[in-house]
Amino acid sequence: MNFKNILNNPIFKILKESVAEIGLKSYIVGGYVRDLIIKNSNKKDIDIVVVGSGIELAKKVKKKLNNTNKIQIFKSYGTAMLKWNDVTMEFVGSRKESYSDSSRNPKISFGTLQEDLLRRDFTINTMAISLNEENYGNLIDPFKGVLDLKNQIIKTPLDPLKTFSDDPLRMLRAIRFCNQLNFKIEANSLKAITQNSDRISIITNERIVDELNKILECKKPSTGFIILEKTGLLKKIIPELSNLKGVDEIEGKTHKENFFHTLEVVDNISRHTDNLWLKWAALLHDIGKPLTKKFNKKVGWTFHGHESVGAKMVYQIFKRLKMPLNDKMKYVQRLVFMSSRPIILSENEVTDAAVRRLVFDSGELLEDLICLCEADITTKNPKRFLQYHENFKIIREKINIVEERDRIRNFQPPISGKKIMAYFGIEPCDKVGIIKETIKEAILEGEISNKYSDALTLMKKKGLEMGLKPNENKL
Ligand code: CTP
C-alpha cells in the first residue's frame, strides 16, 4: 500500500525534503496513519518517528517552514514538538521502553522502527508510513494493523497483560477507541483489562478524565461505560456510578435500575447536544440516589433530596478527579440540583405559575435543563412516554408565552431596594427584603404583572401592613 498521493498537506513535502537532507530514516506513525486509512482526514496531530533523535529533524523542518514558533524540546526523550498553523508535529526518536510496576516513567533506550512499533498500544496504531526517498509513502505494517482495521478489532501487538501493565491508561484507550470507532475489543485484550484494572491507580486523574471526556463525546457513550463497568474500571474511577447498579425489592416493590437508566439518559442527550458538561450532568443526574434510597411501606421506594445530595457529590467527584472546580462544575451541580423540577411539572397539569418559577430559578440554564429532563424520559410504558413528551411540548410553549408576557428570565425586580427605602424613609433592613420578596412572589404566582405600576401598588399596600410611613414626594 502506498500513500504518496494521499499525503496532501504541503507539510509532507517539507518533511520529505528535510528527512533527505538530514539522512535519518523517518516515518509517520500512530493515529495519523490509522485515521488516514479509515479516511478520517480531521487529524491535526502528526507523530513522526526518527531512527535516531527527533530534535535535529524538528529543527530542519522549522527552518524550511520559516516557522517562528518555538520548538519544545525534551532532550532526555530525544523528542521535539513543533506547531505550524493548526498542525502539531511531534518528532520522537525510535525507542524501546520498559516500565517498572509502580511507575508510569519508562526506562527508555534506543530501538529500531520495528521495536518502536511493537511497544505501542494497539495494532491499529502500529502502522508507519515512510518519509524516506527510496520508499516514500509506503505503508509498513508489521503487526497486521490494516487487517484489524478492516475487521474492526482493537488488539494489542504484544501479550495484552504486558501492554496494559506497561501503561494502564491503554485500558481506557481501548475502551475509548472501541466506542469512538464502533470496533470490538479482542477477547484476550478485554480479559487482560479486567485482570489489570487495579493498575489504573497509577495513572494521573488528568489523563483518566481526558479519556472519560472522549468517551462522553462519542455518539453513544453507554457502549464505553458498560465496558468500563464490566471490566471493573468504573468502580476504581467513579465508584459512585457503579453504586447506581442493581434493583432492590421489598414486599414485591422494586425501584428503577439507575445505572442503565443513567446511561440511557446520556445516550439520549448525546443525540441532541455536543455540550460535554451537559453530558456530565446527564451522567451524574441521579448520583445521589443510592445515598437517599429509603423504603416506605405506603409509597414504596423513595429518593427524597437526592438532587441536593447529588449536587454535593458532583463537587466531590470533580475534586477527586482533579477536574476544574470552576463555573463548568457549578453548571453541572445546578443542573443535577434542578434535574427533577421539570419532570414533576410534566407529570401534572402545567400551570403558568409553575412555569414562571421554573424560568426564574433556572435562568440561563433553562434550555439545557429541559433538554436534560426530556432525555430523562426512559419509561418503557409507551403511553406515559408519549404523555411526558407531550407535556414537555406544552411546557416549552408555555415558557415562550409566559416569557414574552412576563419577562421572568434574568428577572430584575421592577422596584429597587433604594426606591423602597426612599419611599418609606428607612435604612437598609429586613423590611426592604420582605417587601421585595413579596413583590417577586406575587409576580411569579401571577397575582400581579411584572410591571412597575403593579409593583408600586403592592409595595405601598405591604408597607402599610408593616406599619411603615409613606412619603409620596419620594416617588
Ligand atoms: N500510544 C501508545 N500508548 C499510549 C498512548 C499512545 O502506545 N498510552 C501510541 C499509539 O501508537 C498512538 C500514538 O502513540 O497512536 C500517538 O498517541 P496519541 O496522539 O495520544 O493518540 P492517537 O492514536 O493519535 O489518537 P487520539 O489523538 O485519538 O488519542
Q: Residue 437 corresponds to which cell in the numbers above?
A: 420578596
pLDDT at 104: 58
Query: Backbone phi, then psi, for 447, in 5-degree steps?
Result: -75, -30
Separation between Cα atoms, residue 227 and residue 154, nearest integer Å? 13
Residue 31 alpha carbon to ligand 1 centre in Å: 6
SS3 content of the chain, % helix, strand, coil (to 5): 55, 10, 30
Residue 30 alpha carbon to ligand 1 centre in Å: 6
On whether residue 452 sits in a domain, the answer given is yes
Q: Are residues 119 and 19 in the same domain?
A: yes
Residue finishing a domain among 116, 150, 184? 150
Q: Is the pLDDT of residue 441 over 80?
A: yes
DSSP conformation letters of 173-184: HHHHHHHHHTPE
Q: Are residues 44 and 57 in the same domain?
A: yes
Residue finishing a domain among 207, 237, 267? 237
Nearest partner of 340 among 312, 373, 380, judged by Cα = 373
2: which DSSP letter? B
Highest mean pLDDT among 49-58, 210-219, 394-403: 210-219
Q: Residue 358 corresponds to which cell in the numbers above?
A: 421554573
Confidence of residue 376 (pLDDT cuts 50, 70, 90): very high
Atom of ligand 1 nearest to the CA of 214: 28
Nearest partner of 306 among 296, 316, 284, 291, judged by Cα = 291
Confidence of residue 146 (pLDDT cuts 50, 70, 90): very high
pLDDT at 100: 54
Q: Give how far Cα 262 sits from Cα of 162, 276, 316, 380, 402, Å.
A: 34, 16, 19, 14, 32
Pocket test for ligand 1, best of 48, 49, 173 (most atoms within 8 A of CB): 173
Sign of CA dihedral 285, 288, 289, 295: negative
Q: Count CB atoms within 10 A of the CB of residue 82.
A: 24
On whether residue 185 sits in a domain, the answer given is yes
Confidence of residue 347 (pLDDT cuts 50, 70, 90): low
Residues 3-17 have pLDDT tens digits of 877 777 788 999 999
pLDDT at 392: 87
Q: Whose CA is nearest to atom 22 of ligand 1?
A: 31
Q: How far is CA 57 from the centre of its chain?
A: 36
**Ligand 1 pocket check for 167: Cβ under 6 Å:** yes
**Ligand 1 pocket check for 106: Cβ under 6 Å:** no
On whether residue 75 sits in a domain, the answer given is yes
pLDDT at 152: 97
Q: Span 260-264, mean pLDDT?
A: 97
On whether the CB atoms of residues 374 and 329 are closer than 8 A, the answer is: no
Give the residue with greater pLDDT, 475 vs 30: 30
Confidence of residue 436 (pLDDT cuts 50, 70, 90): very high
Q: Give how far Cα 393 sits from Cα of 9, 217, 335, 377, 399, Å.
A: 48, 27, 20, 13, 10
Percent of the chain with pLDDT over 90: 68
pLDDT at 315: 98
Q: Are residues 100 and 171 in the same domain?
A: no
On whether the CB atoms of residues 423 and 475 are closer than 8 A, the answer is: yes
H-type alpha helices, 134-288: 145-150, 160-166, 169-181, 187-196, 205-216, 222-230, 233-237, 239-242, 258-270, 276-284
pLDDT at 463: 93
Average pLDDT value for the chain: 91
pLDDT at 251: 82
Separation between Cα atoms, residue 265 and residue 269, nearest integer Å? 6
Q: Is the pLDDT of residue 227 over 90?
A: yes
Residue 89 alpha carbon to ligand 1 centre in Å: 13
Q: Span 125-144, mean pLDDT?
A: 95
Q: Span 75-95, mean pLDDT?
A: 89
Position 471: which residue type?
N
Q: Are residues 133 and 178 in the same domain?
A: no
pLDDT at 421: 94
**Ligand 1 pocket check for 458: Cβ under 6 Å:** no
Residue 127 alpha carbon to ligand 1 centre in Å: 12
Q: Is the pLDDT of residue 322 over 70?
A: yes
Q: Are residues 127 and 170 in the same domain?
A: no
Give the residue with greater pLDDT, 35 vs 41: 35
Q: Are residues 164 and 143 in the same domain?
A: no
Q: Is the pLDDT of residue 1 over 90?
A: no
Position 245: which residue type?
K
75: which DSSP letter? G
**Ligand 1 pocket check for 30: Cβ under 6 Å:** yes
Q: Is the pLDDT of residue 44 over 80?
A: yes
Residue finishing a domain among 222, 237, 252? 237
On whether residue 130 sits in a domain, the answer given is yes
Q: How far is CA 289 from the centre of its chain?
A: 21
Q: How far is CA 158 from the centre of its chain?
A: 31
pLDDT at 215: 98
**H/E run at residue 87:** strand 87-93
Separation between Cα atoms, residue 232 and residue 242, nearest integer Å? 9
Q: Span 377-383, mean pLDDT?
A: 91
Q: Are residues 36 and 135 in the same domain?
A: yes
Q: Span 233-249, mean pLDDT?
A: 94
pLDDT at 178: 97
On whether residue 32 sits in a domain, the answer given is yes
Nearest partner of 34 among 120, 163, 140, 126, judged by Cα = 126
On whether residue 399 sits in a domain, the answer given is no
Query: What is the count of structural domains for the chain?
Result: 3
pLDDT at 465: 92
On whether residue 76 sits in a domain, the answer given is yes
Structural domain of 130: 10-150
